[in-house]
Structure 1
Amino acid sequence: MAKFNSKQLRSMYTRKEVGRHAVGGGLYFRISASGTASWEVRYTLNNSRKFYTLTAGYPELSLADASIEAAAVKRLVRQGVDPVTNRQREKMIRIKSVTDLFNAYLDKIQSEIKEPHRTKRLYEMSVLPYMGDSSIEGITARDVESLINNVIAKGHKAKANKLLSLLKKMFAYAVKLDLLPASPAAVFTTRDAGGRPAQRNVHLTLGEISQLFKAMNSDELFTKSNKLAVALIIVLGSRKMELIGAPWSEFDLDNGLWHLPAKRNKTKEAITYPLPSQCVTWLRELHFLAADSHYVFPKRMAYSKTPHISERTLLTAIQTLQERHGLKVTTVHDLRRSCRTLLSSIGTTNDTAERMLNHKMDKIRGTYDHYDYLDERAVEHAKIAAMIQPMVDSISNVTTLETVRRGGGI
């Protein structure tokens, strides 16, 4: 078996000799295609040959120290212990507090859920302040009930349901890892979290949308960028965070297109929004208002954790406006529902309307139908834009539904 000294290894590392090089005694020096170097130990356990990568690589770990660690790994193998399994077990043993458990759980599901930042925010707001530092063994069913009741008392039934779901999954993961004999959240049901919240079914009629814009135009405290955000959501039917978290790099204003990448899309599939001329004009205004920011809606507070406005900024502004002007109580998502309702009212086909709102198709159809309806969507977005633009610009001759149905006002 080939053997190398420190000088030879340093030379191999400098020349980036990609591959796994036998050093001796089961120790290997591996150089990846990217040029990083690591130490590996080859061993055989239960007639299966495996490689174990040492925690530190080269040059952090010298040849002499790597040889010592390799010998320790070999001793474990002679005792019948698989070093890979042993490392995983040691990692799990480090899960002591509730926050340790949450971080391990989030790390495991990070790539599986659509919006991991929401899960993290829910934990940080509803669990961390109350039991984050507590030992997982010390958490009881009474503690879980107390957390849930605290959220219900504030009138947040939907949030209570989400919190219970998170706690059940977290502690079930702890049981799965053999860190707990049973989950303190297992006995609770949706009924304990206040029952399932009634599905929200609020939308704004064209007249109510007009009233909303009239209030926005007359209220000096409601900013221009907030008004344009509302207009864009109604016309495009986009999801709130996909719009307010958008960087300018996604927009091709010269060609009237918004390329929303899969990584920022709830459906995990890229989509291109055709932008009506009105939307292009509004976005150019927003570009001016954003100054040198890379984001369409840049953060407004220096201490903000995100480079763009927070997910509650627009909702808070709208609800404050509604209170001051006695308007119908709506959320930002209700604007998206209003867009969908308007589309039906002007005769937009279901296929086109669903693609406009970027809804995911059923599995079988999604497998076979890859048509993007871009041209059809462009026509329908333009119709909604023609109805909304006069409201945004505070012009009295608002396009009516009947006018759009007859093909006018575009």
Structure 2
Amino acid sequence: MAKISYKLRDEDIKNWVKNGTRFGLLSDGNNLYLRYRPEDTYPRWIFRYSLQGNARTLGLGSLQHVSAAMARKEAARLLGLIATGRDVAQEKRERAQAAAMEAASQITVAQLAESYFERSVAPRLKHPGIVRAWIDKKINPAIGNLSASKVRPSHVDSLIQSVAREAPTVAPKLLSRLKAIFNHGVKLGYLSVNPASAFEASDAGPSAKVRERWLNRAELVSMLKAMREAPGWNEQNTLTVKLLLTLAVRKAELIESRIEEFDLAEGVWHLPSHRTKTKAAITIPLPTQAQASIRKLIHYGAGSEWLLPARKMQTRLKGHISLDTLNVGLEKSVFPLMKGVDPFTVHDFRRTARTHLEALDVDPFVAERCLNHKIGGLVGVYNKHDYLDKRRDALQRWADLLEDLDRPEAA
């Protein structure tokens, strides 16, 4: 058999790499070419052939990993296969597709949800902890170990119905997140279809009604008494609940607060715009009772930058306590002692404060600003007054009422 004479000399190839000499396709013979375009980090081996009048191209790898000897040996092998009628380029594509499908079939729902969270939730939401909790506590325990490609609509339905029975208002939101998670899988090629796509919000239960729950004076007395007596309920939790009630702020605004935001000498809390729902900064006047609570929490924090530092070692990387800490503690320790009181949530504290401020004859404009609500219409456009002194008086009267309701004799 005649010895094949190759057109490219190994010495020339080394010099081209050393000198950075760029070129298009240079034939080495035997259907093998070398390419070194400006966009190529290393020269690349290209195999070209024709099958049934159609041109085919097959990449064999870069010179970094495939030597000239290896590329020539592979080209000779491929020519032998082509001689038998095989389309080696198509076969390589099919193998790559099969490998991709195999890899996709291995990714679990938990892994897919994590990818979605890191790419689409954490960088975009101001408070990603809620979605984090849904993934960890709802989705993963139910279907997290399933291969994403094996999830069927029946799995989605079972999960959503289970959540709807426990938390009707959460189920539609969780369904929306499930759709987004599986759409993420479709975009990345892990899934061909979204198993949650056919579901509508109505499938997760009836539409949630606008909440109207608030705690009247008797219910506040019951809760304050229960917090004094509940086993496993600590003073930090009590102080936090009282601050939420007294200041009528959103839960995340208080839980994620840093000590530097509080000016106790002036008796105010400077809540920055990036941490408010309205994207507007606000100075919150602190009643004397709130100032005392904050000083106690700072003492408990033992030098932490957070007003409510994380208490468990596994959550300290976050810095502050979880957004679920109060909800879990109330449900476990306090609610069982509040016999005859209808269920309520931490968010209902804002409505509670607003209602009692009205009962204390606080001007509606002042009461709305106490909750950091934007004033609508032309009044909101032209009236930029912050009512700081009036808000201080209103919140102090509200704090005095709460203090009276917290006395043992009030029960």
**TM-score relative to the length of structure 1:** 0.66
Decide whether aligned partners of structure 1 residues 359 and 25 sit closer, same or farther in structure 2, where only a CA change above 3 A counts: farther
- TM superposition shift of 1:172: 3.4
Q: 2:179 aligns with which of 155, 158, 168?
A: 168
What residue is the counterpart of 2:279 in the other structure?
A: 268
What residue is the counterpart of 1:249 in the other structure?
A: 260
Superposed, 1:2-401 pairs within 5 Å as: 69=41, 96-106=107-117, 107-132=119-144, 134-153=146-165, 155-175=166-186, 180-218=191-229, 222-304=233-315, 306-319=318-331, 320-326=333-339, 328=341, 329-360=343-374, 370-392=384-406, 394=407
Deviations along 1:254-275, whole A, 9 cap, x unmatched? 1111122233333333322111
Distance 1:97 1:215 in 2: 43
- TM superposition shift of 1:185: 1.0
Identify unmatched segments of 5+ residues in structure 1: 1-22, 27-65, 73-78, 80-91, 399-410
Decide whether aligned partners of structure 1 residues 241 and 347 sit closer, same or farther in structure 2, where only a CA change above 3 A counts: same
Which is higher, the Rg of structure 1 or of structure 2? 2
- TM superposition shift of 1:252: 1.1
Distance 2:232 2:109 in 1: 42
- TM superposition shift of 1:338: 0.8
Match for 2:41: what amino acid? E
Decide whether aligned partners of structure 1 residues 253 and 327 sit closer, same or farther in structure 2, where only a CA change above 3 A counts: farther
Distance 1:385 1:325 in 2: 22
SS in 2 for 1:157: coil
Moved more, 138-147 or 173-182: 173-182
Give the count of matched residue pairs: 322
Decide whether aligned partners of structure 1 residues 377 and 163 sit closer, same or farther in structure 2, where only a CA change above 3 A counts: same
Q: CA RMSD in A?
A: 3.9
Deviations along 1:88-128, whole A, 9 cap, x unmatched? xxxx9987543454344332354543422211221122222
What residue is the counterpart of 1:62 in the other structure?
A: none
SS in 1 for 2:283: strand
Deviations along 1:293-335, whole A, 9 cap, x unmatched? 3322333333335433333332333332232252524322222
The 8 Å contact of residues 160 and 194 in structure 1, kept in 2 or not, is answered as yes
- TM superposition shift of 1:280: 1.0
The 8 Å contact of residues 225 and 408 in structure 2, kept in 1 or not, is answered as no
- TM superposition shift of 1:156: 1.9
- TM superposition shift of 1:237: 0.3
Distance 1:124 1:359 in 2: 32
Decide whether aligned partners of structure 1 residues 120 and 25 sit closer, same or farther in structure 2, where only a CA change above 3 A counts: farther
- TM superposition shift of 1:164: 0.7
SS in 2 for 1:69: coil
Distance 1:245 1:325 in 2: 28
The 8 Å contact of residues 253 and 280 in structure 1, kept in 2 or not, is answered as yes
Distance 1:240 1:100 in 2: 30
SS in 2 for 1:137: helix
Match for 2:401: what amino acid? M
SS in 1 for 2:41: helix
Distance 1:332 1:253 in 2: 25
Match for 1:197: what amino acid? A
Moved more, 144-153 or 219-228: 219-228
**Aligned residues: percent identity?**
32
Distance 2:255 2:114 in 1: 27
The 8 Å contact of residues 175 and 204 in structure 2, kept in 1 or not, is answered as yes
Identify unmatched segments of 5+ residues in structure 2: 1-18, 23-37, 45-56, 58-99
Decide whether aligned partners of structure 1 residues 253 and 109 sit closer, same or farther in structure 2, where only a CA change above 3 A counts: same
**TM-score relative to the length of structure 2:** 0.66
Deviations along 1:48-104, whole A, 9 cap, x unmatched? xxxxxxxxxxxxxxxxxx9862767xxxxxx9xxxxxxxxxxxx9987543454344
